[in-house]
Amino acid sequence: MTDQPSDKRPEPMPLLVFKGRRAKASYLPQEITGYRGNPFIEALPPILTEDEVIEALAYYPNYDEAERRLPSHLRLHLIQSALQLFAPLPIHLDLERRFSRMIRASYQQRNPLSRDFWRDVVEGIEALESSTTVVGNRPRPSPLGFTIIGFPGVGKSTSVESVVSLYPQVIYHSHYGDRDFTHAQIVWLKLECPHDGSIKGLCLNFFQAIDDILGTNYEANYAGGRRTVDEMLPQMARVAANHGLGVLVIDEIQRLSHAKSGGGKRMLNFFVQVANTIGVPVVLVGTYAAKAILSGEFHQIRRGTGQGDLVWDRMEEEVWSPEKDKKSKPGVWQLFLESLWTYQYVRNACPLTEELSHVLYEETQGITDFAAKVYMLAQVRAIVSGEEVITARIIRSVARDSLRQAQKVLDALRRGDINSVTDIEDIHPIRIDDYIKQAQKQLPRTKRTAEAEGATEAHPEISVTTSDTPQPPQTDVREAAPKPRRRKPRRDKKSGAAAFEKGDLRGEAADGVESGTPANESLQKAGLIQSANEFLDEEAA
């Protein structure tokens, strides 16, 4: 019997949603009068002090100094795990305070026990005008929402996720006081703007995310068939209101600049309507590429924003504060590096100095993602080359190799020509996984094979020092690939060895093997191969 074609539509690809924890509601007494008697607010975690925020946000992976003596292939794994470090800085404290005030202020005007709550929800949804209608600025009882605009790679998305994770994403209510109160409260929801800036795509993502989190069937009910955007928008607002959504975060908002037929304007108008009619704050996160459209089309919500828009720039280098100087306080860049510098996995640990700090800043221009990854990749290169110590030369070498695509931006930042950078939509992030995989492949081919296998006892001629004193370089670090060179044939016919044509890859590799250099390193030096990282698609900032 032959298979009959199925009439069923293929299952949609699952949406990757940033999820938080779920919690059963328990209610805390409130010191602020306006927060009392509201289960949406009383079920939230307590308002944190600055010290409590620092402790809650900080994440420092376990570090054992003895692990610096492990074989090389194991230390490469440790380097990768250290990238999970999250060191709270002043801007993170500011961000937490904004969310804390904003979420509670939005719930203050949406008390589900209020007699008028559900009537206001219905009226608010019905008041949603067509998405193409320009919405005028309306007075609101409390400030709602704000925008976060910043440089790519400074940690905007990671920081927002860390802050909202301080709150349960879903709180299940069953009883409040002496009355039944069954409700699934969604405190926060974080979505990414669709790649094409499509408002229909955002609506679909919204329903899919809610279904994924709660196990509901909103997508089929409200987005199935041939539903139009104008039909889905009110339903999206209804779902947000029914589940007491505390804040909606839309990331990668710069993609709105690619929206066709006014889609970006329609989406921004919808955000204004949601904030104005049902009181759900909207936080927009994007790079400088979103600045033009936000300042031009989102003025309604920006003008009424009590939290103030947050411009997230790269870290400033500031003046170096010596450890012995108790009077001067270290700047943000130095505080960040002091936390990062703890995670050293080279044999010869070196202290953080003003010189190394300056070199790393000069090469990465205070961009958090670049700084952390260049520091870790410098250790990878130090381990693979056998030098086993972090030096300014290695940092510069790694930065040249791993930040090739970002050099135009970095050069503009070094010149102080920031205006020429804002037109660049994004910066390609470093894909550290690829570099570590490449380093792992090189380990067995290097002169450190015995050390990598932990065989120092079997080979006493191989000396491995564990001193903290930097040792003289044992192997030159690879420099940036030079231009291709014309080479003579690789073998003399009289020797009986094979002869290769000029530029033959086999000849280049054979020369390297003969001199003890890995084949891929010889080919890279000759300019015949490049890092595969250059051709990989960028990841989300």
| pLDDT by residue, tens only, the chain of 541 residues | 444 444 443 344 445 678 899 999 999 999 999 999 999 999 999 999 999 999 999 999 999 999 999 999 899 889 888 888 999 999 999 999 999 999 999 898 888 888 777 676 666 666 665 555 555 554 444 547 888 988 888 899 999 999 999 999 999 999 998 889 999 999 999 999 888 778 888 889 999 999 999 999 999 998 888 888 888 888 888 899 889 999 999 998 888 766 655 666 777 777 777 777 677 889 999 888 777 677 655 444 444 445 667 888 889 998 898 876 667 788 999 999 999 999 999 999 999 999 999 999 999 999 999 999 999 999 999 999 999 999 999 999 999 988 887 888 888 888 877 666 655 555 555 666 666 666 666 665 554 444 544 433 333 333 333 333 333 333 343 343 344 444 444 445 444 455 555 556 666 666 665 665 666 666 666 655 555 444 334 443 3
Number of neighbours of residue 95 by Cβ within 10 angstroms: 25
Single-letter residue type at 153: G
Which residues does 147 contact at the CB level (< 8 Å), separation at least 6?
Answer: 253, 283, 284, 285, 286, 294, 298, 302, 305, 309, 310
Our separate counts of H helices and E strands in the chain read: 21, 8
The Cα 185–Cα 166 span in angstroms is: 15
Pairing between β-strand 247-251 and β-strand 282-287 as defined by DSSP bridges: parallel
Both tokens of 69, joined, read: 């003596």
pLDDT tens by residue, 131-174: 555 555 544 445 478 889 888 888 999 999 999 999 999 999 99
Residues 6+ apart with CB under 8 A from 465: 347, 348, 471
Q: Which H or E run contains 287?
A: strand 282-287
**Where do runs of H (alpha helix) occur along 217-304?**
218-222, 229-242, 263-277, 291-297, 299-303
- Where do the domains of the chain lie? 22-57+89-198+233-312, 59-88+315-480, 481-530
Dist CA 418 CA 415 (whole Å):
8
Report the mean per-residue pLDDT for the chain. Answer: 76
Closest listed residue to residue 380, CA positions, set 436, 447, 302, 451: 436
Residue carrying structure tokens 């002169």 = 447
Best CA proximity match to 24, nearest among 168, 169, 171:
171
- How many residues make up the chain in this entry? 541
- Give the C-alpha separation, 79 to 380, whole Å: 8
Q: Give pTM, 2 decimals.
A: 0.73
If you ran DSSP here, which 8-state letter would residue 188 be given? E
Q: What pLDDT is attached to residue 5?
A: 42
What three-state secondary structure class fits 319? Answer: coil
CATH class of 22-57+89-198+233-312: alpha beta
Pairing of strands 179-186, 170-176: antiparallel
Nearest to 315 by CA among 160, 538, 87: 87
Q: How many CA atoms lie within 13 A of 97 on its CB side?
A: 13
Specify whether the CB–CB gap between 392 and 358 falls below 8 A.
no
> Where do runs of H (alpha helix) occur along 386-492?
392-402, 407-415, 432-442, 449-452
Backbone angles phi, psi at 24, to 5 degrees: -90, 135
Q: Would you give the DSSP letter of residue 86? A: B
CB of 347 closer than 8 Å to CB of 387: no
pLDDT at 430: 62
Supply the pLDDT for residue 199.
81
The pLDDT score that the predictor gives to residue 303 is: 42
Residue 510 main-chain phi, psi, to 5 deg: -65, -40
Find the helix or strand (DSSP H, E) in which 60 lies.
none
Query: Does an H or E element contain 115, and which?
Result: none
